[in-house]
Amino acid sequence: MTAVNETHALGLRSWVASANAEHTDFPIQNLPFGVFRRRGSGERFRGGVAIGDQILDLAATVASGVLDGAAREAAIAASREQLNEFMAMGPSAWSALRLALSRILRDGAAERGRVEGCLVGQHAVEHALPAAIGDYTDFYIGIHHATAVGRLFRPDAPLLPNYKWVPIGYHGRSSSVVVSGEPIYRPLGQRKGLAEVPDFGPSERVDYELELGFLVGTGNPRGEGIPIENAESHLFGVALFNDWSARDIQPWEYQPLGPFLSKNFGSTLAPWVVTLEALAPFRSPYRRPAGDVDPLPYLDAAENSANGLIDIQLEVLLQTKKMAYSGLGPERLSRSSFVEAAYWTPAQLVAHHTIGGCNLAPGDLLGSGTLSGPAITQAGSLIERTFGGRDPISLPSDEKRTYLEDGDTVVFRAWCERNEARRIGFGECAGTVLAPKRI
C-alpha cells in the first residue's frame, strides 16, 4: 500500500473520537493545515492540523519527540506563525508529514500517550491567515498611453467616460485578504447612474462570490514557466474563498482595466487548507462541452483530461442580524459543485499564470472566480440569485434581500464525498458585513 492509499483508507479511524463522527469535516483522512492560537491568550500564532473537533499543535508535537527525519523537519517548518516555509518545501515534505501525523493519530498508535497533550479544542482558538499572501496591483494612470491603446480598439472614443473620473486599476490585493470571521466593511466609492456626474457614498450592492482559493506551494524562477504536466505539484492545497464585490461601484470603474475599489475592500479566506493529496480520491475528468475548441498545447495534457478537476460540493448560507437575534440558523441560498462550474482546471491556471515568465511564490493565492451551476439555485452570487436585484430572496425571518445589508453574515461550506472514500470537508468561510468605518 502506498503512503497516499494508506492515509485515504476508508476504514481508517482515529483515537480522537470526534474524528470518527459521520459528518465531521476533519476525519483522519483529511488533516488540513492552518494557523491558530488559544483565544485571548496573546501567545504567538502557530501551525496546526485539524482532527475532528480538535487541533494538533505542531510545535507541541515536535517537542513531544514523536516525529523524526523528514517528517520532523517538515513539522518544524509547519509550526511557524505562517505556513510559507512549509509550503516551500514541496510535495515530498508535505506527504511525509501527513503520513507521519496519520500514523500517530490513528487507533492503536503507540504515540497516543505522548500526543494527547498536544491537542487544543477548536472551540477555544482564533485563527490567522494560513500564509503570507503576495499581492499585485496594476494601475492605468498614463493618459497618453491610455489614449494610444484605446485608439487601437476604439478609434472614435479612445478614452472611456470613466477614465477622468476614476484612477483606473485592476486589483488583486493581499492586504485586505482576511481570515474567516473577520468583519467586512461596506466600501465607499463612485457610482454612475443616469446622471452626468457620478455620485459617491457607501455601496448599496455588496455581494459575495463563492470561490475556491488555490494556495501555491513551491514557486518558479522568473522567466521559467511551469509546464501543465507538473503544474499541480506547485499547489499546496485548497481553501474556501469569498471575493466580496460592490456591484454598483464596479460597472463605473472597471473599464478599461478592471475592478478596483469594488474588489479591494475585503476578501475572506477560510482558515483550513486541504491538501491536494487529501483530495486524491475525489478527482474527476476534465471535459469541455461538445463543439468547444480544444485548449492550446501548453494548456492541454493527458493527466489533466483524466483527473484535472476535483468533485467538491459547495454551498452558500445567509444569516441576517434579525435571524440571529430570533434564534434562526443560516438559510441556504445555493448549492453547486466545482466539477459542474469550472471551465478550467487548477493545473491550467498555474500553467497559464506562468507561461509568460511570471514567478509564483509560496503562499500566493489563486482564486477560482465565482463557482455557479446552470440553475438559479446553484448561483454563487446574489447578482445571479436575484437576477440583478430584480427578484428579492425571501428569508424565514420575513425579510427580503437583493444585496447584503449591514449585519448580514455569509457562510460558505464545502465537502467531498464518494461511496468508496471517507467524506472530508473544508470548514467554514464566514464574514459579516458592517457599516463603513468612516464616511
- CB atoms under 10 Å from CB of 26, counted, come to 27
Which residue, among 313, 364, 356, has the nearest Cα to 334 in the 3D structure?
313
Half-sphere exposure of 343 (CA within 13 A, CB side): 11
Q: Which of 123, 144, 145, 234 is catalytic?
A: 145
Residues 101 and 19: their CA atoms lie apart, in Å, by 14
CA distances (Å), origin 67, targets 223, 247, 403: 38, 50, 50
Cell numbers found for residue 5: 492509499
Looking at residue 64, its amino acid is S
DSSP-H helix ranges across 308-366: 321-325, 338-341, 346-354
How far is it, in rounded angstroms, from Cα 359 to Cα 356?
9
List the grid coordinates of 344: 478550467
Burial of 172 (0-12, 13-18, 19+ CB in 10 A): buried
| DSSP code for 180 | T
Respond yes or no: is residue 234 known to be catalytic: no
Strand partners, 46: 36
* β-strand partners of 415: 313, 425
Grid cell 514557466 — which residue?
225
C-alpha cell at 108: 492503536
DSSP state of 37: E
CB 283 within 8 A of CB 8: no
For the chain, how big is the Rg over CA atoms in Å?
23
> How many residues are recorded in the chain?
439
Query: What 3-state DSSP class applies to 152?
Result: helix
Residue with cell 467524506: 423
Q: What does each C-alpha distance from 229 to 234, 250, 278, 299, 302 come to in angstroms?
A: 11, 36, 20, 9, 8
Q: Report which secondary-structure segment, H or E, holds 93.
A: helix 91-105
Provide the annotated active-site residues. Answer: 145
